[in-house]
């Protein structure tokens, strides 16, 4: 899945946990665990979405969609920056793409492409969920399948809006008005 979807998932997880888990260390452990688990499941259902495995900068649709992805990811990160810990936890497996060039430069032959994804996917049960759900599909080269990811992101955004609404402070009671329409002042 793309960055904006992972960020929305991470922000929703932190938003949901903030009120419930007051202990910072416990909350961080949960954010990391749930962020990684959600990332792996979302990546595995990415076969339902437009997600060519290799960059195709010569393809106008690939290029324009990835410009949209970059802008959308940045916008989500800035808009929900108060949940930056949850958002960063939700992309921990994608540190693969940062480690790879470092590993190449340092000559770490033991580091394989996608090692972090592979490590987390090997956790019991985790790799099976998304893969099982989508085993009969492979829409990764279908441009219209980008709409599937946009729909998933919209659902996650709706969850965030709902959590905002649920946790917003109750409106202040209106001050009583006297017969002349002036607010009543306590004496
Ligand atoms: Zn990933």
Average pLDDT over residues 65-82: 97
Q: Report CA(43)–ligand 1 centroid distance (Å).
A: 6
- Alpha-carbon gap, residue 148 to 160, rounded angstroms: 19
Helix (H, G, I), strand (E, B) or coil at 89: helix
pLDDT at 39: 95
pLDDT of residue 127: 73
Q: Compute the distance from residue 186 Cα to the ligand 1 centre, in Å.
A: 60
pLDDT tens digit string along 94-147? Answer: 999 899 889 889 988 888 878 899 899 888 877 777 778 888 889 999 999 999
CA of 10 to the centre of ligand 1 (A): 13
CA–CA distance, 117 with 122 (Å, rounded to integer): 9
DSSP per-residue letters across 126-185: HHHHHHHHTTT---TT-GGGHHHHHHHHHHHHHHHHHHHHHHSPPPPPPPPB-TTSPBPP
Residue with tokens 């607010």: 183
Q: Ligand 1 center to residue 39 CA distance, Å?
A: 6
**Residue 127 CB neighbours (<10 A):** 18
58 CA distance to ligand 1 middle (Å): 23
Quick: pLDDT tens for 10-50: 999 999 998 899 999 999 999 999 999 999 999 999 999 99
**Alpha-carbon dihedral 61, 43, 28, 22, rounded to 10 degrees:** 90
Q: Which residues pair with 177 in a beta bridge?
A: 183
Q: Residue 43, SS3?
A: helix
pLDDT band at 186 (very low <50, low <70, confident <90, very high): low
Tokens of residue 58, six digits: 């010569």
Ligand 1 centre distance from Cα of residue 130 (Å): 13
**Residue 21 Cα, ligand 1 centroid: separation in angstroms?**
27
For the chain, percent of residues with pLDDT exceeding 90: 64
């Amino acid at each position: 899945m793309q960055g904006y979807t992972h960020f929305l998932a991470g922000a929703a997880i932190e938003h949901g946990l903030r009120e419930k888990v007051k202990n910072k260390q416990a909350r961080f452990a949960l954010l990391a665990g749930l962020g990684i688990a959600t990332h792996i499941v979302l990546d595995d259902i990415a076969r339902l979405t437009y997600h060519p495995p290799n960059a195709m900068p010569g393809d106008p649709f690939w290029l324009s969609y990835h410009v949209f992805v970059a802008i959308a990811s940045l916008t989500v990160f800035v808009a929900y920056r108060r949940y930056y810990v949850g958002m960063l936890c939700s992309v921990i497996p994608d540190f693969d793409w940062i480690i790879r060039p470092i590993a190449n430069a340092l000559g770490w032959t033991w580091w394989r492409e996608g090692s972090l994804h592979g490590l987390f996917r090997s956790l019991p049960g985790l790799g099976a969920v998304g893969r099982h759900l989508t085993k009969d599909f492979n829409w990764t080269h279908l441009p219209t399948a980008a709409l599937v990811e946009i729909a998933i992101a919209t659902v996650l955004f709706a969850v965030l809006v709902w959590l905002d609404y649920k946790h917003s402070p109750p409106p202040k009671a209106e001050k009583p008005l006297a017969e002349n329409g002036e607010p009543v002042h306590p004496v």
